[in-house]
């Protein structure tokens, strides 16, 4: 017996002229759109659906041909889909969404400002006798400068460099991201700016070496983001990133996502500026580990996607760590 939600298929191409939208959970009809143009896109259909249900704006909608299937892209054309003269689609509410401008104001301005509260030792963070006092160690000021530079760079890249395939992010995701960025930033700032903090045991040699590598990682990460941005400027033919004349992009010879490689190295070197080794501060070790695990997942997904899409993709490349992962 055929399942009631099974997608319709046809043996010969047809041109749908109607769209029936059902609830993905209950299978109840939400609307029936008559006389829809065959060349209409999924984005157009979302706009028509939004007129009937104003509280479900397009960014909040997910339309599928199968309730358990993948969401249709906004640029997919109706007549190219495997449906009959009446296209049956299933709707799922993605929940409240936030635009990317607000997303990164919240995610990146939060750690930036939170760290400064500890650096300036506002009252009720440490003992009252240390309120609005300054650390006698220059490395504490250096750590604050590195932290501030890193998040200012992220904000600049978000506004002027990055290009996103989706215009919004679910509100529930924002909550988790803020918990990660804000929470660990506060933890690290608490230890680094604490009145009892002592500099690394290896002194200026370690600090200067870690600072040099930190700057290289920031420049490398920025260079990779510029390279990725250049692939999307005015070209309809998708290409995979390759090394350029910029030496910071040569890491593309070995990994698919060098931006994540530089990011992980940045975490480690930022720790080395302030602590003797990565395990000197257990919270920073956990922060680095969680960041590495998450970026490894993203990198492996991107690496596999490159391999599926491009037949001539370099076989020597790994996802994030050369020759290993």
For the domain 18-95, what is the CATH code? 3.10.20.90
Give the mean pLDDT of 299-324.
Answer: 93
Sorted by where each begins, the domain ranges of the chain are: 18-95, 98-309
pLDDT for 193 beyond 80: yes
Q: Which of 21 and 234 is assigned the larger pLDDT?
A: 21
Please tell me the predicted confidence (pLDDT) of residue 12.
Answer: 41
Q: How far apart are CA 47 and CA 36, in angstroms?
A: 12
pLDDT for 279 beyond 60: no
Any idea of the CA torsion for 151, 153, 155, 157, to the nearest 10 degrees? -150
Query: Average per-residue pLDDT in the chain?
Result: 86
Give the mean pLDDT of 175-183.
Answer: 89
Give the mean pLDDT of 62-78.
Answer: 91
Tokens of 77: 């054309």
At 6-54, the pLDDT tens digits run: 444 444 445 668 999 999 999 999 999 988 888 899 999 999 999 999 9
pLDDT for 287 beyond 50: yes
Supply the pTM of this predicted model: 0.78
The conformation of residue 73, written as its DSSP 8-state character, comes to P
Tokens of 145: 């400068």
Please tell me the predicted confidence (pLDDT) of residue 61.
Answer: 92
Give the mean pLDDT of 141-156.
Answer: 92
Most confident by average pLDDT, 163-167, 202-206, 257-261: 257-261
Which band of pLDDT confidence, cut at 50, 70 and 90, is reported for residue 164? low
Tokens of 26: 């209950």
Lowest mean pLDDT among 3-7, 63-67, 166-170, 307-311: 3-7
Please tell me the predicted confidence (pLDDT) of residue 281.
Answer: 65
Please tell me the predicted confidence (pLDDT) of residue 7.
Answer: 47
Percent residues over pLDDT 90 in the chain: 54
pLDDT for 250 beyond 90: yes
pLDDT for 158 beyond 90: no
- Write the DSSP string, 273-309: HHSSSGGGSHHHHHHHHHHHHHHHHHHHHHHHHHHHH
List of E strands, the chain: 18-23, 29-34, 61-64, 86-93, 97-99, 168-170
């Amino acid at each position: 017996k055929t399942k009631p939600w099974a997608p319709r298929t046809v043996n010969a191409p047809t041109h749908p002229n109607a769209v029936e939208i059902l609830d993905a959970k209950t299978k109840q009809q939400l609307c029936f759109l008559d006389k829809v143009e065959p060349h209409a896109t999924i984005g157009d259909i979302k706009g028509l659906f939004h007129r009937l249900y104003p509280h479900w704006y397009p960014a909040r909608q997910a339309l599928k041909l199968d309730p358990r299937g993948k969401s249709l892209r906004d640029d997919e054309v109706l007549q190219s889909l495997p449906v009959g003269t009446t296209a049956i689609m299933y709707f799922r509410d993605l929940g409240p969404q936030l635009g990317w401008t607000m997303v990164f104001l919240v995610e990146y301005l939060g750690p930036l400002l939170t760290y400064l509260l500890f650096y300036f030792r506002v009252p009720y963070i440490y003992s009252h006798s240390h309120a609005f006092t300054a650390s006698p160690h220059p490395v504490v000021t250096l750590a604050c400068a590195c932290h501030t530079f890193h998040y200012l760079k992220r904000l600049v890249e978000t506004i002027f460099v990055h290009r996103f395939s989706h215009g919004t992010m679910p509100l529930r995701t924002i909550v988790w991201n803020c918990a990660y960025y804000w929470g660990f930033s506060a933890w690290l700032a608490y230890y680094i700016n604490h009145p009892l903090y002592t500099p690394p045991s290896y002194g200026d040699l370690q600090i200067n070496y870690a600072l040099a590598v930190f700057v290289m990682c920031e420049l490398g990460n920025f260079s990779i983001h510029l390279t990725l941005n250049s692939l999307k400027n005015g070209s309809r033919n998708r290409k995979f990133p390759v090394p350029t004349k910029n030496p910071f992009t040569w890491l593309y010879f070995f990994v698919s996502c060098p931006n994540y490689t530089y990011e992980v190295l940045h975490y480690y070197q930022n720790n080395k500026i302030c602590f003797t080794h990565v395990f000197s501060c257990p919270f920073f070790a956990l922060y680095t580990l969680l960041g590495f695990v998450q970026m490894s997942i993203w990198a492996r997904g991107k690496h596999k996607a490159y391999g599926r899409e491009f037949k001539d993709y370099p076989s020597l490349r790994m996802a994030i760590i050369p020759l290993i992962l």
